[in-house]
Structure 1
Amino acid sequence: MPASEYISSIRSRIGNDLLLLPGVTAVIRDDDRMLLARHAHSGTWSLVGGAVEPGEEPLEAVMREVREELDAEIDVTGIVGVYGGEPLMVTYPNGDRVGYVTTAYECVLRTPPTPDGVELVEIGWFARRDIASLDRRGWIDRVIADVRG
């Protein structure tokens, strides 16, 4: 999905410089399995999420991101935690640098997911023990470790 008008406006002034953004992450579970997605820009596996838009509640943002990226609806059952720092620094293929501070929400699916084919090229259900063997964004290990149960 292209950058929002808000981000594009900021980028027109700061170029590729680091931009700190609030984000949301959907930790979608089915018992002990987690839904992960392989991202088109990096080829790595991660949790689903993205930036919070101006004026948007983070809870609304996580539901919107799941809808946009997976064409699915979720129920949010709690907050896992809030994460940031170096592990959540991203440099996109166009050179844009972003540091996310993300709120991770525990979620369950209400409708079947389908990757959008633009941001996400593949999805899969993985047991916690199997996630360590994936080519993944390292920060998700901390989030998954914080998930109860």
Structure 2
Amino acid sequence: MATPDFIRDLRTSIGRQLLWLPGVSAVVFDDRGRVLLGRRADTGGWSVIGGIPEPGEQPAETAVREVHEETAVRVVPEAVVLIETMPPTHYPNGDVCQFMDVTLRCRAIGGEARVNDDESLEVGWFAVDALPELQDYALTRIKRALEPGPTWFQGMGEEPTAPQD
């Protein structure tokens, strides 16, 4: 995920210390029940689409923007799937961030999936029974998006997602 300008500006004041940030993940399904994934340029791994809200931006707006920016697919958010505070992430440059992730289940309504920016190496639709290798982070979000029921909240009897270091 590219670092937004407002975070770069904050880093000039606070240095590398822990920065608490919101994050939004979008689990996008098409009309065939396939899930949209991107292979990230920063890690080379496949994942659900996500990013950091701009100041004042609502999570649903972030999901719509990020999915379109990264994949050229247009979506409609349908439900909050999961809210989870992630363990701190330590980046190679020394920055430390901790994200509170809001995951939304989204429905694709248009556009053709393609690499649409420099954050992804590949994008594609995958049947849920034929997913590429994914970190637990992405698998948990896809699993929760497939389940009917209420929003899942971390700390309510289950183990947290593993750190992304």
Q: Which residue of 2 aligns with 1:144?
A: 142
CA distance in 1, matches of 2:75, 2:33: 17
Q: Which residue of 1 aligns with 2:97?
A: 98
CA distance in 2, matches of 1:127, 1:113: 15
**Size of the alignment, in residue pairs?**
145
Tell me how far 1:140 sits from its aligned partner.
1.3
* Aligned residue runs from structure 1 range 1-149, under 5 A: 2-30=2-30, 31-86=32-87, 89-109=88-108, 110-131=110-131, 134=133, 136-148=134-146
How many percent identity over aligned positions?
Answer: 34
Aligned partners of 2:86 and 2:101 also within 8 Å: no
Structure 1 counterpart SS, 2:146: coil
Aligned partner letter, 2:144: D
Q: Name the structure, 1 or 2, with higher relative contact order (CA <8 Å, separation 6+).
A: 1
Structure 1 counterpart SS, 2:42: coil
Q: When you count helix as a share of all residues, which structure comes out higher?
A: 1
Distance 1:130 1:95, change over 3 A: farther
Aligned partners of 1:41 and 1:92 also within 8 Å: no
Tell me how far 1:138 sits from its aligned partner.
2.0
TM-score by length of 2: 0.77
1:73-132 CA-partner distances (Å, limit 9, x unpaired): 11112221112222xx4344433322221111111222212213511111122222333x
Distance 1:3 1:75, change over 3 A: same
Tell me how far 1:26 sits from its aligned partner.
1.0
Structure 2 residues not aligned, in runs of 5+: 148-165
CA distance in 1, matches of 2:119, 2:2: 10
Structure 1 residues not aligned, in runs of 5+: none
TM-score by length of 1: 0.84
Alpha-carbon RMSD across the aligned residues, in angstroms, is: 2.0
Farther off after superposition, 3-12 or 45-54: 3-12
Tell me how far 1:52 sits from its aligned partner.
1.1
Tell me how far 1:143 sits from its aligned partner.
1.2
